[in-house]
Chain A
Amino acid sequence: MAVPEVKQSATEARLATLTMPDAGCTRAAREDALARVLETGLPGRRDEYWKYTRPDTLITSDAMPAAVLKDDEPPIFDKLDRLKIVFVDGVFSPNDSDDLSLEGVSIDRLEDICCKDIHWAKELYGVLEARGQVPVQRPLAALNTAFASDGVAIHVTGKPSKPINLIYRHASPTSDAILHHVVRVESGAEATILETGPAASRFNKCMEIDVADNGTLHHVRAQGRDHERRAATHMFTRLGQESVYKSFTLTVNGVLTRNEQIVELTGDDAVAHVAGACVGDGDFHHDDTVFVTHDAVNCESRQVFKKVLRNGATGVFQGKILVKAGAQKTDGYQISQSLLLDDDSQFLAKPELEIYADDVACSHGSTSGAIDETALFYLRSRGVPTKDATNMLTLAFLAEAVDEIEDGSLAEAIVNRLEGWLARRS
């Protein structure tokens, strides 16, 4: 089908501003990805998958300017021992980063891979993204694969002693960054990847994660607070037998965020948990779009998303569980809830189940509500002032999502951020 003219001209205008880097062994994947973009065009307002989130500002030729927040909080995981990999406005910064050697993992820059002819990452770069284009097209991810200018390839072969923290700093108010990471977790290996920071005025990030049999990957992300920043991110994850993937995202501010998680359970007994907590104010727009495919026996998936919205903020959740024929004994769970702190804010949810196996347990639920007045009164009757009581109940509402983080110190850092947000607003 031909791309509508409006879409085509928008796509061409965007492509005109981009140059494909000297790509080495990723060249073929990039060219394929570009062909996908040309075939479908970039997302438009009439696309069903973008019904609740306007993609316009994500595809304009230039990024809308976004002021750099003068940060008043110490970096979120500052107190934790971690390997830091720093990008400033989407460019790797060797001076700010740690030495990339760590036992149990090897880390290469995308730039270094691109000048090689042979590298393990070639087998992964653009591969999961391409798989993730069916049944729903994700042109921003294809655009990313084609034009990513930086990123890392993380090969986990053991159990590294500390988390790997990808830190995205935002320095220029007009920066436009495209990063692409690939992660391969070998059989029996286990690692934690942290992502923090606003990255750029506009950020397009793609991460492809391949977890082999018995491998485990924990992912905890805290997106930056810069109020005017925009981000479209994709995480494509493929899970082997008895492997585990647990991902949590905290979003505090940002005028536009679209986080897509595309998970494929391809080995029996695999486990995937994706969770998110977001708190937003005013013109904040936050979209969690999740697509979990069960394609093996006895797998478990959980989606837990909680949003606190106030002063006209908008939250979106599009979550799907697809259970393919033969994926018996699937245990799929999905919950999306919003706490609306006033009448102006809104939550738009589209939970979907599509099941082709007959011996599965899948459930989904979605709710929107205000603060529980009875609970509020109970707290106040014990002497807790209204403001503090409201904050306690707000944190309690988010707790189910935060509880998905296994590591106590990471969860604590997330809670501290949420408390900071609440304190600034009360």
Chain B
Amino acid sequence: MLEIKNLHVKLEEEDKQILKGVDLTVEAGKVHAIMGPNGSGKSTLSYVLSGRDGYEVTEGSVDLNGEDLLEMEPEERAAAGMFLAFQYPVEIPGVGNMTFLRTAVNAQRKARGEEEMSAADFLKEIRAKAKSLKIDADMLKRPVNVGFSGGEKKRNEILQMAMLEPKLCILDETDSGLDVDAMKLVAEGVNALRDQGRGFLVITHYQRLLDHIKPDVVHIMADGKIVKTGGPELALEVENNGYSDILAEVN
């Protein structure tokens, strides 16, 4: 599904190499987790995949279902099935949450040549999905993320993911700023979306989230590269011993 080959990325504004040859393949139906210390390039990877400005790919390639992802605009990536749950969801005053989501759903459908969703169908679906994430009607009506608590913002990201039904979901430190209950709720939302056709890339500092979203594969990233790949037990190793042992072993 997602195939990253030898990806090198530097900051556009300064001569600073962040990613130094990332190789990663996420298969449909699998959950891959990326862990790593601060500054290892995890978030940069998620930004580059979603098409954010300010980064320059100097080498390598990224394919999503056989298409060259790096050639696409952010909205084309979304229509092709990419979704990034932001570490810091953006507040947009003046744009209603519901209006925003409906515009997004229909823009993606239009881009794919599908029929737009009717207002009634949309309402029915969003209500059901919001309910399971404990998002009330008031939150749907309010401007996007404005005045939302940290937990509400993250739940709102998952709601968007549920409505947009992407093929590849990237979760960028979705656990940051969440208490245990909120994390469980978010994890349940993610787990409900797991199926054979969908791939996940979960970026996190801590093993805690992975107790709730069980990964198939765990990667350790350091200094712009994936330095070790293993099963769920790798996450536990990090939790118990920190990154230093692994990094020492690799070096």
Contact = CB atoms under 8 A, between A and B. Distances in A.
A395 B93 CA distance: 10
A369 interface: no
B52 A396 contact: no
Interface of B: 50-53, 73-75, 77-79, 84, 86, 89-95, 100-101, 103-105, 107-108, 111, 143, 160, 164
B93 A396 contact: yes
Contact of B75 (A380, A392, A396): A380
A379 B145 CA distance: 12
A356 to B, nearest CB: 35
A4 interface: no
A379 B93 CA distance: 13
B86 to A, nearest CB: 7
Given A374-B90, A385-B75, 15 more contacts: A375-B90, A375-B91, A378-B90, A380-B73, A380-B75, A381-B51, A381-B52, A382-B100, A383-B105, A384-B104, A393-B92, A393-B94, A395-B94, A396-B94, A399-B94
16 contacts: A375-B90, A377-B74, A378-B92, A379-B100, A380-B75, A381-B51, A381-B74, A382-B78, A382-B160, A383-B78, A383-B105, A383-B108, A383-B111, A384-B75, A388-B103, A396-B92
A250 B90 CA distance: 29
Given A377-B74, A396-B94, A383 B107 contact: yes
Contacts of A382: 78, 100-101, 104, 108, 160, 164
A373 interface: yes
Interface residues of A, number: 24
Nearest to A395: B94
Given A388-B103, A392-B100, A392-B103, A381 B94 contact: no
B103 A384 contact: yes
Given A383-B108, A396-B92, A378 B86 contact: yes
A-B complex: 3 closest residue pairs judged by Cβ atoms: A396-B94, A383-B78, A383-B108
B84 A381 contact: yes
A392 B111 contact: no
Given A385-B107, A386-B73, A392-B103, A380 B92 contact: no
Nearest to A380: B74
Nearest to B111: A383
A50 interface: no
Given A386-B73, A386-B75, A392-B100, A381 B92 contact: no
A397 interface: yes
Interface in A376-417: 377-386, 388-389, 392-393, 395-400
Contact of A383 (B53, B79, B86, B91): B79
A374 B87 CA distance: 13
A384 B160 CA distance: 13
A160 B74 CA distance: 52
A226 to B, nearest CB: 29
